[in-house]
Structure 1
Amino acid sequence: MAGSMTLPPLTGFAAPPGDLPFGVYDPHGDFADDPNVQIEHLFLPWEDVYLPSLLEADQYARDRNRSVLVTIEPWTWTRSDRNTPAVLQAGISDGSYDANMSSICGMLNQFQSPVTVRWAQEMEDGSGQFIWADWEPETFIAAYRRMVDVCRTEAPEIDFMWSPLGLEGFEDYFPGKDYADVVGLSVFGLQPWEEQVLGSAQSFRDILVPRYERALQFGLPIVVAEVGYSGKQTYVETWHNDLRQDLADLTELQAVIYFNQQEVYPWPDGFGLPNWQVNKNVILETAMGQ
């Protein structure tokens, strides 16, 4: 929320308590010294990326005994230069973007860390955030399969994560088990939005379980590829303590990965850019209008 104030972090820059494997997207390096982080999450645009920097990321992960999840976003991060969905679809179909995927995967093939590739995430999202989302399912599936095939040619040993938000109907975008080793889901909790729009604050399980249950149909391991939460101190504390504990009944859940950054796309209903970063995600009650 605009102008909101925050409290200091609850537990410092440390993984939440529990035994479930934990990872982070951590562009500020807040979790650099935490030995309980097992997965390093990278986000890459497939245009305008400096490929040699990936080897530095591999070294960073190896130094900390972490595997690597690489989300490849099929666009440039320069907003003014981004394509339209139609241009992206045509370029993938005619092979114009094969080289983009090939060059990145060729570099990933040099990694000594275990690597999983997550291409074009949250494809059923209709918010307008991503130019690869809300396509006709058959169009997306054809594009996804082509990119996996291109990547496998360069990096035959890496795994692939197919990663919807987890909304109803996301199964229409499933590319088949030959093209996915794991299913990724996204789970974000924003207390003021939940209270205003849904009528009450939600827990981690409230949001996760319906998505998890939908994903079981594929018979694949499940990972929360992105998770973040922001609200009052008690809300943040509850999510923090629930993130890796009391989940034994979710037998296919393999890991949770925290998105340790401010949101980059406006939350619906005028709630701005929530800050999921662990030292900035507690909102003072006065900032929530209470």
Structure 2
Amino acid sequence: MTRQNRFGILAGIGLVTVLVAASQFFSKISPGTVTGTIPDSLETLIGVYNPNYQPDRQPVKDLYHLEIVLDRSTDPVNLQDRYFKIQADLPYLITLKISDSFGRNSLNDLRDGSFDEAIQALCAEISAISQPVYLRLCPEMEVPVHRFNWQYQSPVTYIQAFQRVSRLCKARLPAVQMVWAPAGYPGADEYWPGDSAVDLISITVDSPSEQLTTAYPRIADPYTAIRRKLHRLRFMPKTVLILGDQSVKKSIDAGQLTKTLARLQQEETALFPTLGSPRAAVSAKVRTARPEIGVYDPKELLVKNQALRAEHLFFDLESIQTGTFRKALNATLARRHDVILTIEPWRDTKPRRDTCVLCNVTNGVYDEEFREVYRAISRTRQTVYLRFAHEMEIPIRRYAWQSQDPILYIRAYRYFMTFDSAGSRNIKKVWGPAGDRGSMEWWPGADVVDYISVAIYGLPDKNITDPRQQETFRDIFNRKFYRMRFSSKPLFITEFGVKGPEDFQRKWLNDAADVIRNQPDVVGVCYFNLADNPKVWGNMPAPDWSISPATFNHFVSQLNPNL
């Protein structure tokens, strides 16, 4: 459909570029009206997915994709001849990027209003388009590379910048559709700008940014990759545009993609009676009393502390089968302590294959061991914080349930947590990610979680050799707590510790006590009073997080000054 107004933005300084639509759209554009070079990397529409997936009722079937780079030095006089010499009878997908030509943080400038004039000028030109317009801002922001200047930036800064642009555009163009455009990489949810700022979502299959990073294993099968990406975004009830370049599009079979999306819809519906609500909707007050204090203390150096209310116990299948589990549990209960009980479904002594321990869980292979666990913990009046297959989201293979399909993990977790049909009141269900990037991909549903636990260690990185260079408790907590914001559940920090000289440990624990004391969402903390497993650290000595009874007493006094 012909437009009279010509579109342009920003006389350039070398960074203003035009990337025109992909070749499959050419037959739908008036002959002789297309200018510019057509790069193979420009994303095209592969498919559309929405929470109530219906392939025959999608909001858009095809798009005309235009990419524009905005500079801060907008000159409205030059807005007439740079872009949109093309007449398209398709909805427009406009990918808006921002330049960093002055060597500054463009995302901060976008948030603070330096691009407002350029964006308003853009909106004025968009208003002349008679087709629907989808405005896609600063894509692939969550991928940990430096391909774009808005990557490797604060999620909060990105969100504020997106919200500002959305408000500006909606004020001028109420009909414009704002598209939040992650690649769909682990951790994308950290950059979610919120329902009111976003109309649609786009993901990119095998994006160039993802090809540059090795932070997470690359998924070669495009259907599995699409399924994982969409699963990560299930908290955002928005229609998702699935994009990819020409080579990706050619590799996708439309029938197979339809089956993949239908399967995902069935899985999501079956697995999640409720997903939980955003943390902003939760009451500001969760904890009504002092936080519960616990320790993992197999050498029993701290268990006699009068402020202590809980002990952490770890048990694998072998310990359940040999009776070690019962013995240790009874000793803890005899001290009238609550129990933080972490069940690790591996190391089976019976002649059974355990290469896929999560499959074994859902297939009932470990039912006898699970019955023993529930028999033991349901016969006490002490509270049992039951945690299963922890730190599942870390992309390593320290535990047999790590680096697995999240749907498989969720099924196994739900199987274990609903194993006791009696539902003993003293048992509290604990979902235990490390709190790393992408944790919420493994969220099993609010109906099987009473508390979330995360691990906070001052020395999680093998590259840190000076213990005084450890991150503060506050910094680690804030990062991990933020990642849990799509859950409405309180936190029980079931593992935390710090390495180093005693004076440094006290300083670090003072900061921890201050954070916990003033954070009502934290209902309990449990110190890990031991060294880590030496096998995990290779040639380096395993960090020892043990503290003296005097330092532990100091931490307790800082956490509860009135004791």
Instruction: Tell me, yes or no, if the aligned pair for 1:23 and 1:40 is still in contact at 8 Å.
Output: yes
Alpha-carbon offset, residue 223 of structure 1: 1.2
For residues 191 and 211 of structure 1, do their structure 2 counterparts lie closer, same or farther at Cα, with a shift above 3 Å needed? closer
Counterpart position of 1:178: 447
Deviation per CA, 1:85-144: give whole Å up to 9, x if none.
42x133223211122112111111112311121011111122321001121110100111
2:459 pairs, out of 185, 190, 210, with 190
What does the per-residue CA deviation read over 1:185-217, in whole Å, with 9 as the maximum and x for residues that have no partner? 001112985645999431111111110121232
List per-residue Cα deviations over 1:215-248 (Å, max 9, x = no partner).
2321101011101110234421212222323434
Establish whether residue 219 from structure 1 lines up as the match of residue 491 from structure 2: no
Determine helix, strand or coil for the equivalent of 2:480.
helix
Residue 189 of structure 1 aligns with an amino acid whose one-letter code is G
CA shift digits 1:45-101 (9 cap, x unpaired)? 12342448536634533534x2111111111288xx996542x13322321112211
C-alpha distance in structure 1 between counterparts of 2:327 and 2:354, whole Å: 31
Q: Does the 8 Å contact 2:498/2:508 carry over to 1?
A: yes
Bigger Cα displacement from structure 2, 238-247 vs 198-207 = 198-207
Q: Identity over the aligned pairs, expressed in percent?
A: 24
The alignment of Structure 1 onto Structure 2 pairs a total of residues equal to: 258
In the TM superposition, what is the alpha-carbon distance from 1:41 to its structure 2 partner? 1.1
- Which of 305, 326, 335 is matched with 1:54 structurally? 326
Quickly say closer, same or farther: Cα 1:266–1:210, change in 2 above 3 A: farther
TM-score (norm 2): 0.42
Q: Which deviations, in whole Å up to 9, do the C-alpha atoms of 1:159-192 show, x marking residues without a partner?
A: 1100000011110100001111000000111298
Partner of 1:131: 400
Return the letter of the residue paired with 2:358.
Q
Query: Residue 46 of structure 1 contacts residue 74 of structure 1 at CA under 8 Å; is this kept in 2?
Result: yes
Letter in 1 for 2:373: I
Which structure would you say has the larger RCO, counting Cα contacts within 8 Å and 6 or more residues apart? 1
- Please, what TM-score do these two structures have when normalized by structure 1? 0.78
SS class of match (2:418): helix
Letter of the aligned partner of 1:57 in structure 2? Answer: L
Residue 382 of structure 2 corresponds to residue 113 of structure 1: yes
> What is the RMSD of the two structures over their aligned residues, measured on CA atoms?
3.0
Secondary structure of 1:243's counterpart equals helix
C-alpha distance in structure 1 between counterparts of 2:531 and 2:417, whole Å: 29
Q: Secondary structure at the match of 1:178?
A: helix
2:339 aligned with 1:40: no
Cα distance in 2 between the residues matched to 1:278 and 1:77: 33
Q: Which of 153, 163, 172 is the matching residue for 2:421?
A: 153
Q: 1:24 touches 1:257 (CA, 8 Å); kept in 2?
A: yes
One-letter identity of the residue aligned with 2:486: Q
Q: Residue in 2 aligned with 1:102?
A: 371
The answer to whether 1:73 aligns with 2:344 is yes
Residue 226 to residue 83, structure 1, CA distance change in 2 (3 Å): farther
Query: Any unmatched runs of 5+ in structure 1?
Result: 1-18, 283-290
Cα distance change on mapping 1:272 and 1:59 into 2, 3 Å: closer
Cα pair 1:116 1:159 within 8 Å, conserved: yes
Q: Does 1:29 align with 2:300?
A: yes
- 8 Å CA contact 1:166–1:214 kept in 2: the answer is yes
* Contact 2:295 2:303 (C-alpha < 8 Å) held by counterparts: no
